[in-house]
Structures are given as structure tokens and as C-alpha cells.
Amino acid sequence: MKLIRFYRACLALLLCSLLSLSAGHAAGTATSQEEVVVAVERYLKTQTQGLSGRVDISVGQLDPRTQLSSCAGYEPFVPPGNRLWGKTMVGVRCLGPANWTIYVPVQVRVFGAYVVARRPIGPGQQLAEDDLELRQGDLSTLPAGVLTDVEQGVGKTTKGGLGGGQPVRAEALLAAMVVQQGQDVRVIYKGPGFSASNEGKALNNAADGQVARVRTAGGQTISGIARPGGIVEIGP
């Protein structure tokens, strides 16, 4: 009888130990998931500090069925092909003692100013300041390359038409030509400790910063960098 009571007591202790281990494992899993989310939030805040405008970050919840072994440290990273913009993913590696990697859905929204066409604008039209205006919104939902300053579009020419209120993309504009083919230009030579100038005629159209070819009065063909005011710079 005493032996039976002894076995029963041992069995009760064993069951209590198993229940305690099971509860501890479940609590550890929940804690690990919370720590992963915190690590991702910190990572996003650090990585988005340089973005202009108001940044809003949200981290998606992990699947509650996900089982994560105990981890001493986490290394968040951006998976190849992703960027911290709009709806995306952030990976998290466990630095030990376990060896696992998990991917967490996140959304990075950036609220700021962007440029739209104030009215319908036809193709081939050179933009003036009153053709454009600023609006506020979530930049992460807009097409890539949208202008964020009216001055970025002033003086440029539209490739195609723009609808009123349509966001203006840099790719939809042509840079203003500062040198026109056949135009009389001033060629400025710059070097260490000296500067000289000459006159010539432009052989091609060129925007600011583009290469312009010039035929000098002596018949020599040279190349330089086009600058506003019909100037072509030649430097070392």
C-alpha cells in the first residue's frame, strides 16, 4: 500500500513538471514573438530617420501558430528586392542559441508634399510655375519618381500630356535645353590657375550638364558641358 502511494506521488510530481514545462514553452514562444515585433519596430525607426516628411510605421502580427525557439538576440534586415517603402517585408535572424529566420509584414507610409499638374497640359509644353502645385499625401502610394518640389519641373518640357491633378513624374519631363543647335555660344576654358574664353556655334541641343559640341571660329570642333546662358565649359 505504501509502495502504491509512493508511485502515485511520483506520478503526480512528473505530471506537474510536464505541465510546468509546457506552460513555460508557450510563454517563451509568445514572448519571443513580442520581442521580434519590438526589434522590427526599432529597426524601422532607425532606417527611416532620413526620410523627409512624416513617417508612419506599422508592423503586422505573426501567425500565432508560429513556434519560435528561445533567442538571445535578433538581427532585422531587408530581404533582397525589397525596400522600406509601402507594404513590404522585414526579415529577422536569430543570433543564437537557436538558428531561425522569420519574415514579418510591415508597412512604411511617408506623408509629404508632391507636385501635380494644376490644369490639363498638352505634350511638348514647357512648364511654368503656375502650371504646377503642391499637394500633401502618402508618397508611398504614388508612382516612382514623382516630383516633390515645383522648381524641379519649372522650365522642363512634357513628353506627353498631363491631366489636371495628375502627379508629375521626372520621367515624364524633358530637361530644358540651355544650348540650341546653331546658337552662338561662349566657350569657357578652365584649368588650374587660369581661365580663357572663345566664341563658337553649337552643333547640337544640350540641357544643363549635358555634353555640347561646338565649332569654333577657327573651324575646330570641341566638346564641353552645357550651362545656362549659352555657355559651354571645358575643364580639366
Q: What's the CATH number where 121 sits?
A: 3.90.1210.10
CA dist 1 → 11, 158, 205 (Å): 15, 98, 108
- Cell 500500500 belongs to 1
**pLDDT for 138-191, tens place per residue?**
999 999 999 999 999 998 999 999 999 999 999 999 988 889 999 999 999 988
185, β-bridge pairs: 200
Residues 27 and 103 in one domain: yes
**pLDDT for 65-123, tens place per residue?**
888 888 889 999 999 999 999 999 999 999 989 899 999 999 999 999 999 999 999 99
- The proportion of the chain whose per-residue pLDDT surpasses 90, expressed as a percent, equals 64
Residue 3 lies in a domain: no
pLDDT for the residue numbered 199? 92
Residue 225 lies in a domain: yes
Cell reading at 229: 546662358
157, β-bridge pairs: 126, 174
pLDDT for the residue numbered 25? 41
CA angle 121, 127, 131 (to 5 degrees): 60
User: Which residue among 88, 109, 130 closes a domain?
Assistant: 109
For the stretch 155-192, what's the b/e string if a residue is b when 16 or more beta carbons lie within 10 angstroms of its beta carbon?
bbebeeebeeeebbbeebbeeebbbeeebebebbbeee
pLDDT for the residue numbered 32? 67
Q: Is the pLDDT of residue 29 over 70?
A: no
pLDDT for the residue numbered 61? 85
User: Which residue among 135, 154, 174 closes a domain?
Assistant: 174
User: Which residue among 68, 84, 109 closes a domain?
Assistant: 109
Residue 51 lies in a domain: yes
Domain ranges, residue 145: 110-174
pLDDT for the residue numbered 106? 97
62 vs 27, residue with greater confidence:
62
pLDDT for the residue numbered 1? 47
Distance of CA 36 to the CA centre of its chain: 24
pLDDT for the residue numbered 235? 82
CA dist 51 → 45, 54, 131, 224 (Å): 10, 8, 27, 36
Average pLDDT, the chain: 85
Residue 92 lies in a domain: yes
Q: Is the pLDDT of residue 22 over 70?
A: no
Quick one: DSSP state of residue 210? S
Distance, in Å, from the CA atom of 205 to the CA atom of 23, rounded to the nearest integer, reads: 75
Residues 164 and 142 in one domain: yes
- The proportion of the chain whose per-residue pLDDT surpasses 70, expressed as a percent, equals 86
| Confidence band of 9 (pLDDT split at 50, 70, 90) | very low
- Cell 499638374 belongs to 117
Residues 167 and 183 in one domain: no
94, β-bridge pairs: 74
Residue 182 lies in a domain: yes
Residues 105 and 44 in one domain: yes
Phi and psi at residue 179, to the nearest 5°: -135, 130
Number of domains in the chain: 3
